[in-house]
Amino acid sequence: MEGLNITWATESGDNFTFSIRFPSPSVTLFSASIEVIFAVLTILGNVLFIMSVFLKKKLRTPAHVYLVNLSTTDIFAAVFVSLPSVDAFLNEGWRLGETFCIIHNLLHPLLLSTSLWLSAFIAVNRYIYVVHKLRYRSFTNKVTVTLSVVYVWCFPAAVRSPGYLSPGFSQYAPPTYVCRGSLSQVITAALIYIPCAIVVVCYSLTFRWVRKMRRQVETHSNHPGLGQSNNKGPSRHVVRMIYALAGIFALILVGYLPFVLLINISASLQVTPDPDASMLLYPLIHVGGVVNPILYGICNRNFRKAYSEILATLCRPFGEGRQESRTPRVVTSSLTPPNAEQALGVPNVQQVIVVSCSREVATNH
């Protein structure tokens, strides 16, 4: 299905004809295949990450609580957003009902807003840990972490749900095969722009402080007469993890930015977005959920160790089954030989000596 012409007749007798373009079947099939791959990898990778945090006591830190919630949003997006979209792409239409079409339209931006606010709290947490380390425990405790997690889930839902659940807001968009809706600039600023600004400011201040500490350390090392600096700054492990967390935020933006720009630019020009471009850019929205668990493992050896232990435990039954199938069977008999030499048919040493002596006596006689 490449396009559809629709003619609208008014009461005055005027006819208006407009066309709806659909993405090509090859582009639709390609996007659906990428979505399936991303969804499976997202579920497997983030479930592995969550298991690592819950099974390893060393990994149960306040910062990782935020990451567990971020992984949860990625899993929800894979199950309730990506897979239904794949079904709509392959069938060239939405067949899961009007109610779930509205829910699908609500979850997509809701999970984005939750991810961005989680990234904002992660950035604040890392800023306090690096720059104000002595005050970190007073600012980061069970109460503050719990309240912030409740906020990132409830605030976007409270702001978005009334509009999305109102009649007629979520409408089926034929060019994309899913429901679509729009939000006011005020709601967009509260759910997207503000957390993005918090992330940028916090990471900028953190990296600036790290560079400042490194310059002080280099200055004192090059001039021994100045003495040693008391504050050597964060370790390489901490700095590496900060870069990883900043990369996670960048992936979220990079994934959504092309698709959002295409929709907004088309809306400002009052034209319909190119259906092939929309279909090709759609899988990029979920690329962060695939890469995030990999970044955790690359930048944290504790996660790498936990990953390997969990995977080894899960694969152990398959390895034992193969090993048992390759092990030769040992046949035992109730008639046990006197010794091992007789069992193998090999004469013992005493028998060899007696036979050789008897042969010598026979030859002498």
In a domain, 336, yes or no: no
In a domain, 173, yes or no: yes
Q: Which helix (H) or strand (E) holds 17?
A: strand 15-21
Whole-number Å distance between alpha carbons of 31 and 338: 74
In a domain, 30, yes or no: yes
- pLDDT for the residue 247: 79
Say whether pTM exceeds 0.75: no
List, for residues 220-234, the tens digit of each pLDDT value. 565 555 455 455 566
Q: What b/e string do you get for 71-82 counting C-beta neighbours within 10 Å, with b at 16 or more?
A: bbbbbbbbebbb
List, for residues 303-361, the tens digit of each pLDDT value. 889 999 999 988 877 666 566 556 555 544 444 445 544 444 445 544 444 444 444 44
- pLDDT for the residue 175: 58
- Arithmetic mean of pLDDT, 73-77: 93
Task: Look at 267 and 304; give whichever has higher pLDDT.
Answer: 304
In a domain, 31, yes or no: yes
- pLDDT for the residue 179: 66
Q: Looking at the 3D structure of the chain, how many domains does it have?
A: 1
In a domain, 140, yes or no: yes
- pLDDT for the residue 209: 86
Tell whether the model's pLDDT for residue 84 goes beyond 80: yes
- pLDDT for the residue 268: 75
In a domain, 351, yes or no: no
In a domain, 306, yes or no: yes
Domain span holding position 58: 26-317
Read off the pLDDT band of 36 (50, 70, 90).
very high
Question: What is the separation of C-alpha 158 from the centre of its chain, rounded to a whole number of angstroms?
Answer: 25
List, for residues 284-299, the tens digit of each pLDDT value. 888 888 888 888 877 7
Under a CB-based contact definition with an 8 Å cutoff, are residues 289 and 248 in contact? no
In a domain, 129, yes or no: yes
List, for residues 37-49, the tens digit of each pLDDT value. 999 999 999 999 9
Give me the CATH number covering residue 145: 1.20.1070.10
Percent of the chain predicted with pLDDT > 70: 68
